[in-house]
Structure 1
Amino acid sequence: MNLYLRYFDKETLVSNVDEALIFLASIPEIGLNAELEADLRDYAGSDVYYPKRYKVRPRVYFIVIKTEAATMLDFKQKKALRSNPTSERAHRDVITPSMARLSEIHDGWYESSIDFKRVVLVPTTGKHEYRDTHFVVFCKANSGLDCYNRIIDHLQSRVDGRSQFPSAKGKNFKFRYLGRWK
């Protein structure tokens, strides 16, 4: 694991913390001390891969980035980006229980509620405003998502077009499967 350090136009790519400390000691504005040295050693030894910045004075920092790059050219061309294909695939394949429940096919009756922002006319001023509206319905549907789509289609034809509806995946839409229809 190498470390990339930059302070304004001064930059370096080093292979260990001692070389990084030599680089930082060569810049008088940084003021290398025991606390900074210990923190840099902790950062280099940890499993954390996000860039770290250290404050020199108000609005002035130097940065340290962990990298797999062997040379400065590789680092600049981003040839040694750290990627973990198994974790990326696992993250992509993860489906939350609420999302899975939303698309489960169960023909029948659903009790659903949706909270949305409805545009209404205020008679005294003649202007429009948003009002929080709670809408509850029993409907026949094939899934939670089908139920959501039916509710939105119904409401869009009956309220002002500027009304705002929540996502089916959000906390403002709830549904409960009641059973099969006859």
Structure 2
Amino acid sequence: MDSNPVIKPKVATPALILASVAVAIAAAFIPEVRWPGNAGLTIVWAVLLVLAGLIGALWLVRARRRRSWLVEANKRWDRFEEARRTHGTTAEITVLSVDALEPTGSWITINWNRFGHVQRAWLEALAEPIWAGSVLLISPDPGQVRPGMPWPATYFIQASYVFAWAPATVSVPRLGREAIAGAMNFK
């Protein structure tokens, strides 16, 4: 199963923070005990050293994973902006949810970023999977969306009309934290 490339990896979790604090406190109090001590104290030192190494390695792995995710997300946004400059009329939509997957496409719920309009859409199958939280750069179909006309009940997005996608979590300063949090029900 693919991991969701839209979700920013977490570095600090409550369990990791508590484990780090516990090892730090233990490391601060153990030197107060006389050294060299008995075999029990040596075992405690060895366990503490192993735990400190494991926790440190976990922090490093998570930091590297997040750093590589940020680099990839920024590259996606660079490609997104390049596609916006190269193509004529474009629109940004945020995928709020993927409602149903089918071999030929997916039923999704989208938010038109410029208008704040939420609606159901059919997205033809793309070369790579699209996840909730993705921002798609599309060419709006003038046969479906016209100024002064009501929005269609369901918007149909052809695969050839999708130029690029990027994770919405990196675009928070551009789109506004409240707009994304409200639209995706994240608090």
TM-score, with structure 2 as normaliser = 0.25
Question: Comparing both structures, which one devotes a greater share of its residues to helix?
Answer: 2
Q: Flag the structure with larger Rg.
A: 1
Question: Comparing both structures, which one devotes a greater share of its residues to strand?
Answer: 1
